[in-house]
């Protein structure tokens, strides 16, 4: 009888210990579970890859009419030296690159002066210029390009990802961003990257 008790308690202790180990391993993997094979991964640009409020401010201060071709052209030429690379997103970009995932950017910016933005994103994140798309219809692009995970700060990014059958993951927006609308992290019970504001 005593032997049996000892056996049960040893087994019990081993079970508790292994559960604890498993739990701590899960807790430390930052929750982004990824398949073993490479996938296509998409990123929004503004407030996701870049804190780009300064580029938008430069365009507005130029006196160009907001959202005109000239205004967009200034925005797209002003990231270098003004926009700030978001640290947490950069780590995510690097993690996907190491896995061999294909990185794609889908931005709702207009493509006036878009070549300069493509060049900057290439230099900064190593994203191929031909993998940067300018469109408001993100869901269609996500589906067309077979993107499995789409990172974005706006509710619409997450919504478009879900619509396209992809996983939408939220990057937090800096409180200093001039863009304030469509921002309700957790609205879709989506995964959220902690400390990703800056």
Rg (Cα) of the chain, in Å, rounded?
A: 21
Dihedral of alpha carbons 61, 151, 198, 116, sign: negative
**Shortest CB 116 distance to Mg ion, Å:** 19
**Residues whose CB falls within 8 Å of the CB of residue 164, separated by 6 or more in sequence, listed in order:** 138, 139, 140, 142, 143, 147, 150
Residues 133/148, Cβ–Cβ less than 8 Å? no
For Mg ion, the closer of residues 71 and 150 by Cβ is 150
Q: Which residue has the tokens 């490479």?
A: 38
Size of the site for Mg ion (CB under 5 A): 5
160 near Mg ion, rule: CB under 5 A: no
Q: Does 155 bind Mg ion (CB under 5 A)?
A: no
44 included as an active-site residue: yes
Contacts of 108 (CB under 8 A, 6+ apart): 134, 135, 136, 138
Q: Considering the rule CB under 5 A, would residue 46 count as an interface residue with Mg ion? A: yes
Is residue 47 at the binding interface for Mg ion, with CB under 5 A as the rule?
yes
153, 159, 160, 190: which one contacts Mg ion (CB under 5 A)?
A: 153
Stretch that binds Mg ion, among 6-14, 20-28, 47-55, 127-135 (CB under 5 A): 47-55
CB nearer to Mg ion: pick between 11 and 179 = 179
101 catalytic? Reply is: no
Q: Which is nearer to Mg ion, 90 or 99 (CB)?
A: 90
C-beta of 53 vs 73, nearer to Mg ion: 53
- Beta strands 132-134; 40-43: pairing state: unpaired
Site stretch for Mg ion (CB under 5 A), options 41-49, 55-63, 85-93, 98-106: 41-49
Structural tokens at position 188: 């879709």
Give least dist CB 168 to Mg ion, A. Answer: 12
**What is the number of residues in the chain?**
198
Alpha-carbon span 100 to 39, nearest angstrom: 8
Which residue shows structure tokens 């798309």? Answer: 133
Q: Give the nearer residue to Mg ion in terms of CB position, either 58 or 108.
A: 108
Give the residues lining the site for Mg ion (CB under 5 A).
44, 46-47, 153-154
Catalytic residues: 44, 46
């Amino acid at each position: 009888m005593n032997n049996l008790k000892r056996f049960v308690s040893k087994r019990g202790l081993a079970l508790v210990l292994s559960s604890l180990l498993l739990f701590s391993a899960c807790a430390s993997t930052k929750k982004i579970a990824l398949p073993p094979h490479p996938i296509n991964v998409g990123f929004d640009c503004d407030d996701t890859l870049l804190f780009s409020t300064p580029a938008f401010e430069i365009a507005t201060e130029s006196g160009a009419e907001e959202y005109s071709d000239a205004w967009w052209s200034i925005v797209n030429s002003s990231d270098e030296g003004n926009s700030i690379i978001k640290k947490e997103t950069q780590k995510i970009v690097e993690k996907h690159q190491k896995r061999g995932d294909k990185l794609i950017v889908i931005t709702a910016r207009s493509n006036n002066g878009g070549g300069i933005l493509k060049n900057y994103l290439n230099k900064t994140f190593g994203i191929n210029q031909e993998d940067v798309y300018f469109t408001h219809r993100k869901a269609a692009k996500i589906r067309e390009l077979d993107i499995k995970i789409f990172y974005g700060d706006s509710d619409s990014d997450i919504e478009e990802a879900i619509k396209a059958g992809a996983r939408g993951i939220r990057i937090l927006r800096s409180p200093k961003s001039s863009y304030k609308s469509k921002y309700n992290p957790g609205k879709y019970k989506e995964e959220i990257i902690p400390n990703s504001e800056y």
